[in-house]
Amino acid sequence: MELSDLIAPENVVPNLRVTSKKQALQELAKKAAELTGQPERAVFEVLIERERLGTTGVGHGIGIPHGKLPELDRLYGLFARLESAIDFDAIDEQPVDLIFVLLAPETAGADHLKALARVSRLFRDRAICDKLRGTDSADAVYALLTQGATSHAA
């Protein structure tokens, strides 16, 4: 599975302006609802519920909120580069400025885990993260995400 299977150029928000984790999740749920056809409230609820289980702030300024929705037909990815880093209750207590939302059908099983692993591997590459932080073009961000993912094959 490639990141290009999960994300399209219109799934990239290159300059999201938010001031809190809740606001970030609300804005991303709104965008995800447009992309998936799912109700915004349902997307937000699944992301918040996952955060209650434990933070998806994985460290080094990266958040990977994710969840499963029964009505989805496939996996969806959505990426946002925040204009300013926010407190995300990350495991390293550092603010987050790169967020990749992953939404999966309830029946996704191993595919959901494989996609999470792929996203995690990509964001372990500090050079790619630095490049993502250095651009505010949606096309450039998309190219970095999809080109970077091919060099991090499972």
Q: What is the pLDDT of residues 28-38, one digit of tens each?
A: 999 999 999 99
CA 13 to chain centre: 10
Are 74 and 58 within 8 A, CB to CB?
no
Residue 108: the pLDDT is 87
Q: What are the φ/ψ torsions at residue 105 (nearest 5 degrees)?
A: -65, 155
Residue 109: the pLDDT is 82
Which helix (H) or strand (E) segment is 144 a member of?
A: helix 138-150
The domains of the chain are located at 3-150
Other C-beta atoms lying within 10 Å of the C-beta of residue 140? 15
Question: Can 152 be counted among the known catalytic residues?
Answer: no
**DSSP string covering 41-59:** HHHHHHHHHHHHHS--EEE
Residue 153: the pLDDT is 44
- Write out the CATH class of domain 3-150: alpha beta
Q: Per the residue annotation, which of 60, 66, 112, 152 is the catalytic one?
A: 66
Are 76 and 36 within 8 A, CB to CB?
yes
Q: What is the pLDDT of residues 61-119, one digit of tens each?
A: 999 999 999 999 999 999 999 999 999 999 999 999 999 999 999 988 889 999 999 99
Residue 148: the pLDDT is 58
